[in-house]
Chains A and B, each alone.
Chain A
Amino acid sequence: MESLLDQSSLFLQQLVNGITLGGVYALIAVGYTMVYGVIQLINFAHGEIYMLGAFLAYTMVTVLGIPFFAAFILTILICACFGIILDFVAYRPLRNAPRLAALITAIGMSIFLQNLALMIWGSQIKSYPRDMFPAIFLKPALSIGEVSMTWMQVFMLSITVLFMVILHLIIHKTKIGTAMRAVSQDKTTSALMGIGVNRVISFTFAIGSAMGGMAGVLVGLYYNAIFPTMGYIAGIKAFAAAVLGGIGSVPGAMLGGGVLGIAEVMGAGYISSEYRDGISYAVMIAVILFKPSGLIGRQIGEKV
């Protein structure tokens, strides 16, 4: 009986951790899914924006001495600008090029940014100073028996949910959201309807990157370890989440992130911790093979 209780509390704790992690994946996945929805490009460099987010906040807090919350918001803004620049420099010139070219550019950008970060910040694992965020973050917000949820986790989850809701409202209730949906259907026609396609795409990149940067800071806080290659694995996992939920759909990214986060934590806990990353890859490959439209996506056929 005793061990059963232990087992279930362990399970619940894993569930809580999984959901928190899933929220972060969802935040990153949104960037992939939105960009893919609008210009059908897997923006490999998105993971790097997430990494830059983590490092920017770190630099602001440690070197410039900006208070944490201000740094958090500044990071989000800078990352948004960065997304726009990325689009402008790398992807816009290739808008009408074959998709392979854009994909290769995206990979190139990803490698470039990652190694740039490596040159600037070095390859050592860095951690946020303990006193930079309110101490309450590490205290449990609620605990039932063995299971506890820290304020940090509450903070992360609530921010995730908050921004998802905001994003959903932007896409479905505002003019620019309508324009985004129009561009994702057909760029040429949208342009003929008087939509500034490039502006809409920039906006998409800005929002996606802002979310990515935010996720970077949150993960930096949560795991307390940031390093230049963090974007590469997290990026792929977030992409897996986007695919799992159905690429192009924001609620899908949320769902996919949640499922993947839980699957990963559970898999690491119960199956094999060495294959922690492998679980995400396996899930991703399985989804792509058997249900490429994802859990709540729609099938897109090729026109002959």
Chain B
Amino acid sequence: MNTILKIIRLSKSFGGLSALREITLEAKQGQIVGIIGPNGAGKTTLFNCLTSLYYSTAGQIEFQERPIVPEVAETKRRLIKRCAILFFVLGLIWVPLFWSSFVPHTFFKVEVVLLGIFILSIRLLLVRGLVRFQIWAWGLMFVFLISDLWFAIWWLTHLLSSGPMIGTGIPLCYFAVPWGIIAGPFSIYLILQLVLRKVRQLYGFRLGPDAICRLGMARTFQNIRLFFNLSVLDNVKIGFHVQIRSGVLGILLKTRSQRDEEELTEKEALKYLRFVGLDGRAFDLAGALAYGEQRRLEIARALASKPKILLLDEPAAGMNAQESSELIRLILKIREKGITVLIIEHDMKVIMNLADNIYVLDYGVLIADGKPDEIRTNPKVIEAYLGGGTAHAET
């Protein structure tokens, strides 16, 4: 069995409060991995980090041996931040140059000022994106850097051949020279990085929750998040979103492929509803379902995106004994399809019956992991659940 998900020393802190501290976790293909712990232990936070709803502060997540949140060392992060700010400052210099060279003597013309503010604003936005490792920011930055480079060359050649272009009183070359010296090499360096295609590993682009889903990680929520005003069938159809491709034009022209896709979606959605035992209610509104049914619908919706790994956040919460034993059967059936399942659960009967491997969190720290039987007898786990200060006093 090969490892499908690997979390290495993942940390997450909110301001000063650290919710997860260096969690390391592994899930093998086809396993059911349980995550337990008292309330507030950071289990849901872990799921949120996995699905990119939160950005983890440090650590690495590998999904199918591909890093989806690569590790970014703190020093590198700081370096990037500095570069980003430098980049903004370059813009600060560039914009007045731009003003003065294109529209002399009308420094305060509305359009020009607005244009300048616009350019600076975009640069400011970029800095934020760069620091947060958002891919669009990096893409847009290259556009800016190339234009910067072009502008530097243009300006410097003018400067060398005929002196500064405008006589506004400020010797603009003082700005231009350091700017040319810094911006040029910086741009070249970054462009090289892109060409070498190493930049991805180097700077760790973040994937959004939708991209994570596309990769094959689907989840359910602790407090049910269905689309309550839509029909059950439509809920599952939305799950199919990443499986189908039709775009605006295809939809408007109602092309053949689009129609086929719609028909297929409908059939497949009904199939998934049958799988979770909701085919009888396919045409009701999701809000009209009973609690247990809503939980199952959430699972069906997650399954519809054909995930390789399914994250279940307390699926048995609020279920009676019969419903939860049905749920156990359902989860086993999901496993038979070859889907790895990560499950957070408070109901010990469910988790001990299902899980191949259990990880125990307490106050954001991983305190134990192992087979269910080992966990059952682990003194640290018992202490975390039952409390008692003795163990703390000893350590």
- A residues with a Cβ closer than 8 A to B are 270-272, 275, 282, 286, 289-290, 304
- Which residue in A270, A290, A304 is a CB contact (below 8 Å) of B121? A290
Contact with A along B27-41 (1 / 0, CB 8 A): 000000000000000
Task: Give 20 CB contacts A-B under 8 Å.
Answer: A270-B108, A271-B108, A271-B113, A272-B110, A275-B110, A282-B114, A282-B117, A286-B117, A286-B121, A289-B121, A289-B125, A290-B121, A290-B124, A290-B125, A290-B128, A304-B44, A304-B48, A304-B53, A304-B54, A304-B221
| CB-defined contacts of A282 to chain B, threshold 8 Å | 114, 117
Among residues of A, the one whose C-beta sits closest to the C-beta of B48 is: A304
Measured CB to CB, the closest approach of chain B to A10, in angstroms, equals: 14
Measured CB to CB, the closest approach of chain B to A203, in angstroms, equals: 31
| CB-defined contacts of B113 to chain A, threshold 8 Å | 271
How many positions in chain B have a CB within 8 Å of any CB in the partner chain? 14
8 A Cβ contacts from B45-84 to A? 48, 53-54
| CB-defined contacts of B128 to chain A, threshold 8 Å | 290
Q: A271-B108, A290-B121 are in contact. List 4 more A-B contacts (CB 8 A).
A: A271-B110, A275-B110, A282-B114, A304-B53
| CB-defined contacts of A270 to chain B, threshold 8 Å | 108
Measured CB to CB, the closest approach of chain B to A223, in angstroms, equals: 24
Once bound together, how far apart are the Cα atoms of A271 and B110, in whole Å? 6
| CB-defined contacts of B121 to chain A, threshold 8 Å | 286, 289-290
Among residues of B, the one whose C-beta sits closest to the C-beta of A301 is: B14
Once bound together, how far apart are the Cα atoms of A282 and B118, in whole Å? 10
Measured CB to CB, the closest approach of chain A to B316, in angstroms, equals: 20
8 A Cβ contacts from B203-227 to A? 221
Measured CB to CB, the closest approach of chain B to A14, in angstroms, equals: 14
Among residues of B, the one whose C-beta sits closest to the C-beta of A274 is: B110
| CB-defined contacts of A271 to chain B, threshold 8 Å | 108, 110, 113
Once bound together, how far apart are the Cα atoms of A270 and B128, in whole Å? 31
Once bound together, how far apart are the Cα atoms of A282 and B115, in whole Å? 12
| CB-defined contacts of A272 to chain B, threshold 8 Å | 110
Which of A270, A271, A290, A304 counts the most B-chain CB atoms under 10 A from its CB?
A304
Measured CB to CB, the closest approach of chain A to B226, in angstroms, equals: 15
Once bound together, how far apart are the Cα atoms of A143 and B268, in whole Å? 81
